[in-house]
């Protein structure tokens, strides 16, 4: 009997299929029938005797420094809410997750739910359940079709997404100013900027590059996409050795050889780069949209006394225009005006505006889309023009963002 895995592409599976996570508090009455095992196809666990618990084992990929804590908190809260379920989440780094999962499968100890990026081999081995078998129609309808399309094999969706991130180039404005260069927009300008930074700021790495297996496909994509190429052609055929891809890789390797990057890109992951950037030791890098929050939480706030910080929540993203908007305009304008006056009286005060939250994060991917990102960017600029500046957005004074 073959165990079927709810192997979801980057999937927060239990939040989607085991509890109502549409913004409200989980309702214990909506817990799954404990007599049914979502991890098997042709067998079902017998009804659990009164007092017994159903075990649900999850393997989740480690996305960042806070992933383990997030899952640990989620596991504790879930198990408190659903007393008939024993949820156990194992967080594994991207470097090890395939080895761990394959070893578990070989040992007939496959997880019930898998949070991973590539699943074709598991589908080919008949280890997965179709997504519609365990996701409610209401939840399924909320997913963007484009995100589901990437999980289709032979006309069936085998996985559901739990997140999508927008990548951007981040730069330290103070370092660029010190080196006397503008923000680069081409490879030639980037090379020239790196050269100037290396000469005038010898203690700083000009460019951050991650060549590890942690997220190798993304690091590869940054360069080939910027060179007008891709992993496959229009017909879906692999073109990894396309001349444009070779040129892109040679350019990236050239930056390393010329001493313009961090010293050990084969072992230094994106997390190392984020720390270097936050510490002011790295001038430029490409990374996910979580970097501003990470920098604000771990570096920008590190030197600011708690009594000098105010976090104001929440701003939202308008679902129609994808512009930054206030959640409750009348109330928020009054509050923000008061905070602005407070900061004028106390120049060292750091004001952090949180965008999103549980209710308003669902439109981040829309705002990051090619068609809408300029609207969102302009709305942020207009908001900061009201006098809040970069500090209001929770960013260190030296940092700005250029959306690609």
What is the share, in percent, of the chain residues with pLDDT greater than 90? Answer: 39
SS3 227: coil
Query: Left (φ > 0), alpha (ψ -120 to 50) or beta: where does 108 sit?
Result: left
295 in Cβ contact with 229 (< 8 Å): no
Q: According to the model, what pLDDT value does residue 332 have?
A: 78
* pLDDT tens per residue, range 370-402: 777 778 777 776 666 544 433 333 333 322 333
3-class SS of residue 61: strand
Please report which confidence band the pLDDT of residue 46 belongs to, taking 50, 70 and 90 as the band edges.
very low
Cα–Cα distances in Å, from 232 out to 164, 212, 225, 228, 235? 21, 22, 11, 12, 8
What are phi and psi for residue 389, nearest 5 degrees?
70, -170
Closest among 298, 324, 251, 328 to 396, alpha carbons compared: 298
Reduce the DSSP state of residue 198 to 3 states and report it: helix
Residue 229: the pLDDT is: 95
Give 139-171 pLDDT, tens digit per residue: 888 888 888 888 898 899 999 887 777 889 999
Contact 128, 157 (CB under 8 A): no
d(CA 38, CA 10): 18
Q: Which of 21, 16, 20 is nearest to 159 (CA)?
A: 16
pLDDT tens across 244-266, in order?
Answer: 999 999 999 999 999 999 999 99
Q: Say if residues 226 and 248 touch (Cβ distance below 8 Å).
A: yes
CATH code 3.40.190.10 for 6-157: yes
**pLDDT surpasses 70 at 308:** no
CATH of domain 289-404: 3.20.20.80
Nearest Cα to 396, choosing from 326, 270, 302? 302
Asked if 204 contacts 281 with a C-beta cutoff of 8 angstroms, the reply is: yes
| Residue 191 vs residues 91, 196, 316: alpha-carbon distances, Å | 38, 9, 38
Residue appearing with tokens 């980057």: 10
pLDDT at 43 over 50: no
- The predicted model gives 63-86 an average pLDDT of 90
Paired tokens of 183: 């923000």
**Which pairing describes strands 282-288 and 205-207: parallel, antiparallel, or unpaired?**
parallel
Q: Which two tokens stand for residue 295?
A: 């920098």
Question: Which ranges in the chain are annotated with CATH 3.40.190.10?
Answer: 6-157, 164-280
Asked if pLDDT for residue 59 goes beyond 70, the answer is: yes
Average pLDDT over residues 226-239: 92
Per-residue model confidence (pLDDT) at position 305: 54
Average pLDDT, the chain: 78
| Residue limits of CATH 3.20.20.80 in the chain | 289-404
Q: Which of 46-50, 66-70, 235-239, 329-333 is least confident?
A: 46-50
Is the pLDDT at 21 greater than 70? The verdict is no
DSSP assigned state of 300: I
More confident residue, 17 or 244: 244
- Closest residue by Cα to residue 193 from 179, 205, 208: 179
Residues ≥6 apart with Cβ < 8 Å to 308: 346, 348, 349, 350
H helix intervals, 129-242? 137-140, 145-149, 173-179, 187-200, 216-226
The C-alpha atoms of residue 159 and residue 134 are separated, in whole angstroms, by 10
Cα(first)–Cα(last) distance of the chain, in Å? 49
Provide the pLDDT for residue 354. 75
Give CA–CA dist 11/118, Å, rounded.
Answer: 12
Percent of the chain with pLDDT over 70: 77
**Distances from the Cα of 202 to the Cα of 8, 56, 138, 171, 366, angstroms:** 45, 52, 56, 17, 40
Looking at residues 176-187, what average pLDDT do you find? 96
What's the mean pLDDT in 315-339? 80
What is the Cα–Cα distance from 11 to 114, expressed in whole angstroms?
8
Strongest mean pLDDT among 35-49, 322-336, 380-394:
322-336
- pLDDT for the residue numbered 326: 80
- Residue with tokens 């080196």, as numbered in its chain: 179
Q: How confident is the model at residue 358 (pLDDT cuts 50, 70, 90)?
A: low
Count of other CB atoms within 10 angstroms of residue 235: 6
Which CATH code fits 164-280?
3.40.190.10
pLDDT of residue 335: 78
């Amino acid at each position: 009997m073959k165990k079927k895995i709810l192997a979801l592409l980057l999937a927060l599976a239990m939040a989607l299929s085991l509890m109502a996570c549409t913004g409200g508090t989980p309702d214990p009455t909506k817990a799954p029938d404990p007599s049914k095992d979502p991890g098997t196809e042709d067998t079902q666990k017998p009804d659990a005797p009164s007092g017994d618990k159903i075990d649900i084992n999850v393997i989740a990929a480690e996305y960042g420094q806070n992933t383990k804590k997030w899952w640990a908190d989620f596991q504790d809260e879930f198990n408190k809410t659903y007393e008939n379920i024993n949820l156990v989440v194992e967080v594994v780094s991207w470097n090890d997750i395939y080895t761990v999962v394959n070893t578990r499968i070989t040992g007939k100890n496959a997880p019930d739910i898998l949070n991973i990026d590539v699943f074709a081999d598991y589908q080919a081995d008949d280890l997965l359940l179709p997504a519609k078998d365990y996701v409610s129609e209401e939840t399924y309808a909320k997913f963007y079709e484009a995100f589901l399309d990437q999980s289709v094999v032979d006309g069936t969706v085998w996985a559901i997404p739990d997140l999508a991130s927008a990548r951007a180039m981040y730069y330290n404005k103070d370092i660029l100013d010190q080196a006397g260069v503008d923000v680069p927009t081409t490879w030639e300008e980037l090379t020239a900027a790196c050269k100037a930074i290396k000469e005038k700021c010898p203690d700083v790495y000009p460019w951050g590059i991650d060549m590890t297996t942690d997220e190798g496909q993304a690091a590869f994509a940054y360069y080939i996409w910027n060179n007008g190429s891709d992993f496959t052609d229009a017909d879906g055929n692999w073109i990894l050795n396309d001349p444009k891809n070779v040129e892109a890789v040679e350019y990236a390797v050239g930056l390393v050889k010329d001493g313009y990057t961090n010293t050990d890109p084969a072992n230094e992951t994106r997390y190392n780069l984020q720390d270097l950037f936050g510490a002011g030791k790295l001038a430029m890098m490409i990374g996910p949209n979580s970097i501003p929050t990470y920098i604000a939480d771990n570096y920008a706030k590190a030197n600011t006394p708690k009594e000098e910080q105010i976090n104001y929540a929440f701003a939202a993203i308008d679902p129609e225009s994808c512009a930054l908007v206030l959640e409750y305009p009348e109330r928020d304008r009054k509050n923000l005006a008061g905070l602005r006056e407070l900061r004028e009286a106390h120049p060292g005060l750091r004001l952090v505006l949180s965008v999103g939250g549980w209710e308003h994060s669902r439109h981040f991917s829309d705002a990051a889309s090619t068609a809408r990102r300029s609207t969102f960017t302009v709305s942020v600029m207009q908001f900061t023009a009201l006098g809040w500046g970069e500090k209001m957005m929770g960013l260190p004074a030296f940092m700005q963002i250029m959306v690609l």
